[in-house]
Chains A and B, each alone.
Chain A
């Protein structure tokens, strides 16, 4: 009977056994027993956020920057429903998160009790899996299984709902044994598919690596193997928003990000290649553009751990189901054993073609000496921080996010935290808090837009409470920039509700929270302000007043193929047809 303890204590024990050092959360009636246990110990640090959505995004920042699952405590009812956006965000981007929710006691479930919500019902479609635990003896095995499911295979968010009486009840603690779990996704791929890919690598004239978040989720090893394979084959490589950093931005085969706001050379290469090697990406609609005109002449290989990703959007020729690191290792070994052959002549011609596209200089923009151009602000931020190996960048969602992806260079995986699949405004500030907690001495910058930032600005209180030196770098155009851009291109410049008429004074706002605020109004001040921001030891906000009507280019308009990009220099208003306007 020595292993018996209360449900609440089982929760804390299980977290400790799982190696959890930080929990993000917000207390409430239905989780009080767990919070009592948190109070009575000191090895798991609890970080009090200001809103449950912030807790999940902070846990995502923690998870994305460490590769470990992020853990969240919230109460029943509104606590659980407020976590839904974060859960969906983590599901779309395959981020391992464990959310533990309090629930009304079992005997009140179904009675519309105070702060009751059908948490497992509501979160079923936005978690990888979830559980309601009605028996304290089932609590330890369920929590261990939750951690296993969150990280095994394609990672994702899970939720464990624990009624208050189960937290008080006595139950048996059992140790984790993940090999006992029924959930065991296979990691290694079929040999025939590896051989088919190596055949293709040996003969391709216009090959291209197209990589995604799956490389980063597979761990540092996968990124290293990817770099080895790319550098050995000398094949060009592009990446999705989620995959930035797996291959270094300074690497010689790097073409830059692809997709709707990707680089011209990357998208042209996608369109014209004869061998596309998709490593851990999922042919998202931001990447493919018009499906029937997507890379029409290529043989497509697709490495993914999730069989449902294969042939979901794009029909592939060489499906390879397995963990990225395992597959890349096998491909590399097999290719080397056959003599490291590539079509050297063909690939050199391909690079000559690519360098022609690179000459277009698609990221060029009209500079100004009186107004701060957002691209210029990011170029300066890059110039002044690129030496810092410990630089982590978070973003909110919108134009600034795309500019950050275009103008900043990422040298290592897990240093770029952005909401890709769900596109959640309000993600960046809480995520930067999670990153800073995991990396206390690092330089953590949230590149933000003022509208997104306001969505979860309450978390500035969290940053101040824990004295986290997060840098909030707000590109303030007083507009919902991306919405405004689409209205200009698609809706004949009818700017319906895409600007804010009553923005706060951001400097005073930062000061009201107890943080530092700096305003930057002129291009001449930029370097000084950025340096002041970096050097300040504590939470700091920069209100960078930028050009209000800048559009984000290059851009593949909705419903267009990759080779019909709009560039800043040639943008016209006939970019989107009626069919494309339906797309988002």
Chain B
């Protein structure tokens, strides 16, 4: 390198740092992918992840622009920074993909997930479940004398925490939607 007067990753004249620095740490990233809502588009996105050996922690998809026929896919994935960059580049290559945003890199985000918990129990356990649900601001959306279904919205961590608490109190079944995310306002 001594022969070259340029520093690695920068030029003598420009202030641009052209070479990204990559570490080997595994990071968790939330990606927002806007796609044309044509048949098979989700299969293309999922096939990319399985075909190239990337991970999907969660994935949500729905049409967000009915007139324009655009769907928004939110993917939570993990990998080294190099892998994450590859994932965004590979996603961008898919023809019906309009935009790819790495929300984790682009700034602060609001991330929410909806979950429903079927919790069965009587007596003290039932009361404790109801009390904790209140603390977590979960709503009761179905009730029998022996069970509740709670609906809860929050970050994935909050839902994980609530699930831990419900497990000893009679948790029978749970369903989660996966993460939906938006960047916060400036």
Q: A128-B95, A195-B11, A311-B20 are known contacts. Are A203 and B43 too (CB-CB below 8 A)?
A: no
- Taken residue by residue from 5 to 24, chain B's Cβ proximity to chain A (1 for < 8 Å, 0 otherwise) reads as 11011111110101110100
Say yes or no: is A19 at the interface (Cβ < 8 Å to chain B): no
Main SS at interface, chain B: loop
* B177, CB-defined interface residue at 8 Å: no
Q: Which residues of A contact B89 (CB under 8 A)?
A: 306-308, 310, 312
**Would B51 and A199 count as touching, CB distance under 8 A?**
no
The answer on a CB contact under 8 Å between A318 and B4 is no
**B86 in contact with A308 (CB, 8 Å):** yes
Which B residues are in CB contact (< 8 Å) with A319?
Answer: 18-19
- A177 an interface residue at 8 Å Cβ cutoff? no
B43 touches A299 (CB 8 A): no
Selected from A128, A149, A195, A299, the residue in CB contact (under 8 A) with B4 is: A299
Q: How many residues of B contact A (CB 8 A)?
A: 35
Q: At the interface, yes or no: A401 with Cβ under 8 Å from chain B? A: no
Residues on B lying within 8 angstroms of A by beta carbon are 1, 3-6, 8-14, 16, 18-20, 22, 36, 39-40, 43-44, 47, 51, 82, 85-86, 89-90, 92-96, 98
Q: Is the C-beta of A584 less than 8 angstroms from some C-beta in chain B?
A: no
Q: Say yes or no: B3 contacts A204, CB within 8 Å.
A: yes
A131 (CB) vs chain B CBs: closest residue: B38
The reply to whether B47 and A315 contact each other, CB–CB distance below 8 Å, is: no
Number of A interface residues in the complex (CB < 8 A) = 37
**A274 interface residue per 8 A CB criterion:** yes
CB neighbours (8 Å) of A182 from chain B are 36, 96, 98
> With contacts A125-B47, A311-B85 known, is A193 near B4, CB below 8 A?
no
* CB contact between B18 and one of A124, A125, A308, A318 (< 8 Å): that residue: A318
A133 to chain B minimum Cβ distance, whole angstroms, is 11
- A522 CB within 8 Å of chain B: no
The contact string, 1 if C-beta is below 8 Å from chain B, for chain A 163-199, is: 0000000000000000000110000000011011001
What residue of chain A has the Cβ atom nearest to residue B36's Cβ? A182
B36 touches A203 (CB 8 A): no
Residues of A within 8 A of B3 (CB): 203-206, 274, 343, 346
Is A199 touching B6 in the complex (CB atoms < 8 A)?
yes
Of B1, B14, B44, which one neighbours A195 at CB under 8 angstroms?
A: B14
How long is the Cα–Cα vector from A196 to B44 in the complex, in angstroms? 36
Q: What is the CA–CA distance of A299 and B90 in the complex, to the nearest angstrom?
A: 25
Residues of A within 8 A of B44 (CB): 124
| Per-residue contact bits, chain A 343-361, to B (CB 8 Å; 1 contact, 0 not) | 1001000000000000000
Contact between chains at B92 and A307 (CB < 8 Å): yes
Task: Find chain B residues with CB under 8 A from A129 CB.
Answer: 94-96
Q: Provided the pairs A200-B6, A318-B18 are in contact, do residues A297 and B1 lie with their beta carbons within 8 angstroms?
A: yes
A132 proximity list for chain B (CB < 8 A): 39-40
15 A–B contacts, CB within 8 A, in A order:
A121-B43, A149-B95, A200-B4, A203-B5, A204-B3, A204-B4, A206-B3, A274-B4, A297-B1, A299-B6, A306-B93, A311-B20, A311-B22, A315-B82, A346-B3
CB within 8 Å of B: which A293-327 residues: 297, 299, 306-308, 310-312, 315-319
> Closest B-chain residue to A127, C-beta based?
B95
A552 at the interface (CB under 8 A from B): no
Q: Is the CB of A308 within 8 A of B92?
A: yes
**CA distance in complex: A132, B89 (Å):** 26
Task: List the 6 closest pairs (A to B, CB-CB), nearest first.
Answer: A308-B89, A196-B11, A129-B95, A205-B3, A192-B16, A307-B89
A99 CB → nearest B CB, Å: 16
With A196-B14, A199-B11 known to touch, is A274 a contact of B40 (CB < 8 Å)?
no
A195 to B85, CA, bound (A): 24
Cβ-defined contact, A124 with B22, below 8 A: no
